[in-house]
Amino acid sequence: MLELLTPPPVDPLWDLAAAYAADPRPERLNLVLGVYRDAEGTTPVMAAVREAEARLAERSASKEYRGLSGNLAFNRAMLATVLGTPGLTGRAAAVQTVAGTGALRLLADLICRTRPGTTVWISDPAYVNHRPIMEAAGLTVRTYGWADPAGRFDEEALLRDLADAGRGDVVLLQGCCHNPTGVDPTPRAWDALAALAERDGWVPLVDLAYHGLGDGLEADLAPTRMLARRLPEMLIAVSCSKNFGLYSDRTGCAIVLGSSTRALGHAETALQNAARTLYSMPPEHGAAVVTTVLEDAALRRTWRAELDAMRARVTDNRAELAALLASLGHGEQAGTVALQKGMFSMLPLTAPQMTRLRTEFAVYGTDAGRINIAGLPGHRVPYLAHAVGAVLGG
């Protein structure tokens, strides 16, 4: 059987991570994978998370199965955090998942079960895993424009392309801190998207992976809440990997908003059935940690302060990079970088230039130009700026 297997494609991000690991140069920079690193270059465990873990260890809670929906207290906490008001949480159902990726896959399976072959629209460029997840679930994928050639948000292309999205289609939108470009819609563009969905009958699927790392938690969640208020149905995939630092604990949530209790019940059961065939039940530890943090006022304040500090460091990194690029004579490119938000920045470099950045300067980003600005130690920003400047300057 195995001899019949043709060579499968290699995941480009993990292939680059392996190349970085094999690079002996001490000046190398790993800006590939989306993880936050502190000033020393390590991915810390947040203080609120450490305290929550200590409390859980002291309780020595049972390891009994939680059920197909996972930790129900976690699901309630996610609904309250994401949607904010009882008026919205009362229209929603949630199922704990294996991180945000698991949430996307469960929701994709729900879409396919509801209407096989549904067209799902994703941005161009998109998060590298969006298309594979949707296609693996049996859905048809089309794309809409997102950024112009200079790397700035392109509202005209977005609205022009999504004018072709029809009733029953699903439009996958990143709620904030777009991956890979780092550029987000303006409030006017979000309003226009809601109006399109109201008029044409398509359903938003909002991917929330970086909330809290753009303009702050409440500001980053505002577009998602606005869509939820205006539309009868909506799907949301939530990840706790970035804003709680729970990367390896794989903690996430799939949320469905509907117009009737009956529809929500059917959707929740469908998500449970999909989970049963994929992985049965999600892991408990990360969900218990998040629940402990969010249900304790003092821990919640600690977490919010830490999240704000992380966001500030990412913002400072980006501002310094833009300022240094401008000082090196690359003002237009610096202006584009300065407008970006969140963990990622899209460098104004071609694939050959990104290869040169990697081979000559040991700076590892994707061929498309994406770098993890949140993984850049502050003292290495000048090195990155001069490397990019050298490549831009020929």
pLDDT at 394: 53
> Spelled out in words, what is the top-level CATH class assigned to the domain 49-295?
alpha beta
11-44+313-392 maps to which CATH number?
3.90.1150.10
pLDDT tens-digit map of 267-288: 999 999 999 999 999 999 999 9
Per-residue pLDDT, averaged over 61-75, amounts to 92
Quickly state the pLDDT bin for 13 (edges 50, 70, 90).
confident
pLDDT at 23 over 80: yes
pLDDT at 61 over 80: no
Residues of the chain with CATH 3.40.640.10: 49-295
pLDDT at 63 over 90: no
pLDDT tens-digit map of 124-133: 999 999 999 9
Question: Is the Cβ–Cβ distance between 256 and 272 less than 8 Å?
Answer: no
Q: What is the overall mean pLDDT for the chain?
A: 95
Per-residue pLDDT, averaged over 208-224, amounts to 98
Q: What are phi and psi of 367, to 5 degrees?
A: -60, -25
pLDDT tens-digit map of 304-360: 999 999 999 999 999 999 999 999 999 999 999 999 999 999 998 999 999 999 999
pTM beyond 0.75: the answer is yes
Residues of the chain with CATH 3.90.1150.10: 11-44+313-392
pLDDT at 129: 94
pLDDT tens-digit map of 143-153: 999 999 889 99
Quickly state the pLDDT bin for 12 (edges 50, 70, 90).
confident
Give percent of the chain with pLDDT exceeding 90.
Answer: 90
Per-residue pLDDT, averaged over 290-298, amounts to 98
pLDDT at 7 over 90: no
- The residue that leads in pLDDT, 121 or 151, is 121
